[in-house]
Amino acid sequence: MLWVVYNLLFPVVFFFMLPKFLARMLRRGGYGQHFEQRIGHFGHNTKAQLREHRRVWIHAVSVGEIYVALRFMKAYRTAHPDTFFALSTTTSTGHAIARKELDPRDVLFYFPVDLPAIIRKVLRIIDPVRIILVEGELWPNLIRLADKQGIPVSLINGRMSERSFKGYRHLKSLIADVLRRIDPICVQGEEDAQRLIGLGAPPERVRVMGTVKFDVAERNPEGEKAALEILRGIGLPDDAVVLLGGSTWPGEEAALCEIYKRLRQKHPRLFLVLVPRHVERAPEIVQCLEEQNLTYLRRSQLDDFQGLERPDVLFVDTTGELSHFYAVADIVFVGKSLLEHGGQNPIEPALCGKAVVVGPNMENFPAVMPLFLKNDAIVQVQDVQSLETALAELVADESARTALGNRAARLVRENQGMIQKTVQLLGNTGGRRKP
């Protein structure tokens, strides 16, 4: 009965959410590309490639999960070279990153709407040897129909926030039925395990593996060199103290700008770099900088600089360069943690040995933050005022930020290896050519 209710209500919810999806297409650009794949319609070339081999279907919703999926695929293929993958994602940003990084043997597509007719069609086209879900993608019809067809379904790097747990409890019978069809259920931390077990996951199938995001962070020497050359090219001296706002969300840029202006009065060597989470917010950020009376240079317009007076702020309005600029920063504020809920990834700047500061809202990293805090490898503040205090202390004390960054880098190194353990747990699924 619950399945009937879900399949009756889901189309209604999707219909009311459709205007939001359409608005996102217009705002972000590229979101509407290949939209037909969301209703299970694949072009001739995509279908032909999918039919060449049986594949492991991996689903990763957006950017962070895509990076996890790509690193997992690389490690899995190293262990099992005959494996072919089909990778699905939900967002245009995730799709763009996957398109750049994907092995040519693999197939990329947008995740289909979770309706029985559409899922059956996609399963028939892909005929996956196994389905692997990344983090929290519990799509009921996909899991149920795959299970009925004898297709193993697994979860890697799983997490269950307190907020999601409270929501899922209202659908416990349905979610319990879904979780009983997943094996293994690899989760990041003990709290994730207990919440999933509380929702009906068989305890013997739940494995606490730690987070594979420690393995995902990788350094790019060429990209880091290019970022350093950009800073030097705009006239930044070697003794400058670079404060970087990474993956920032609405309101956080304004807060950083106000703090920056006050701190710069005492520390003229301070320089601000802003790298927002969503580049399409560029007009909003430009308006913010102008309202703050700060001169700025947009990364995309670097060729127009030509030795003009050094700006107050470098605004990185391009994609794929955040980790490069982490490496040339001295202090990093990680966004979506001060005025929004969830938090972005603190592991990448930590890997670079930087002094990392985050706000109070880091719910997206429940298995990571306790490790950072326990090892004094991050600074977590509660509000804008305490953020300014923490940044002022780090700007003034080079030895303190160096020590903080060293502890952070050491913590990342000590917690790597989870992807390999997950690959070993899942074993070989093969990559047989279709008859």
Instruction: Please tell me whether the peptide bond between 11 and the residue prior to it is cis, using omega within 30 degrees of 0.
Output: no
- CATH number of residue 341's parent domain: 3.40.50.2000
If asked whether residues 262 and 174 sit together in one domain, one would say: no
If asked whether residues 169 and 34 sit together in one domain, one would say: yes
If asked whether residues 140 and 256 sit together in one domain, one would say: no
User: Does residue 435 lie in a domain region?
Assistant: no
Yes or no: say if 53 and 128 are a contact pair by the CB < 8 Å rule: no
Alpha carbon 271 to its chain centroid, in Å, reads 27
What does each of the 435 residues of the chain score in pLDDT, given as a tens digit?
Answer: 566 666 666 665 666 566 666 666 566 555 556 778 888 889 889 999 998 999 999 999 988 899 999 999 999 999 999 999 999 998 888 888 899 999 999 999 999 988 999 999 999 999 999 999 999 878 999 999 999 999 999 999 999 988 889 888 888 888 999 999 999 999 998 999 999 999 999 999 999 998 888 998 889 999 999 999 999 999 999 999 999 999 999 999 999 999 999 999 999 999 999 999 988 899 999 999 999 999 999 999 987 776 678 999 999 999 889 999 999 999 999 999 998 778 999 999 999 999 999 999 998 888 899 999 999 999 999 999 999 999 999 999 999 999 999 999 999 999 999 999 999 999 865 444 444
User: Does residue 431 lie in a domain region?
Assistant: no
Model confidence, pTM: 0.78
If asked whether residues 205 and 319 sit together in one domain, one would say: no
User: Does residue 38 lie in a domain region?
Assistant: yes
Beta bridge partners of residue 245, listed in sequence order: 274, 333
Report the distance separating Cα 356 and Cα 352, nearest Å: 10
Domains contained in the chain, number = 2
If asked whether residues 196 and 235 sit together in one domain, one would say: no
User: Does residue 194 lie in a domain region?
Assistant: yes
User: Does residue 146 lie in a domain region?
Assistant: yes
User: Does residue 12 lie in a domain region?
Assistant: yes
Which secondary structure element, helix H or strand E, spans residue 154, and what is its range?
strand 153-158
If asked whether residues 398 and 422 sit together in one domain, one would say: no
If asked whether residues 207 and 258 sit together in one domain, one would say: no
- CATH number of residue 82's parent domain: 3.40.50.11720
- Look up residue 365 and give its DSSP letter: -
User: Does residue 319 lie in a domain region?
Assistant: yes
If asked whether residues 161 and 248 sit together in one domain, one would say: no
Token pair, residue 15, equals 């219909």
**Domain hosting residue 76, numbered range:** 2-212+418-426
If asked whether residues 240 and 267 sit together in one domain, one would say: yes
What pLDDT sits at residue 163? Answer: 84
Looking at the chain, the number of H-run helices and the number of E-run strands are: 19, 14
Residues 6+ positions from 86 with CB-CB distance below 8 Å: 50, 55, 56, 57, 58, 106, 107, 109, 126, 128
If asked whether residues 244 and 367 sit together in one domain, one would say: yes
If asked whether residues 167 and 266 sit together in one domain, one would say: no
User: Does residue 149 lie in a domain region?
Assistant: yes
If asked whether residues 275 and 167 sit together in one domain, one would say: no
What pLDDT sits at residue 171? Answer: 84
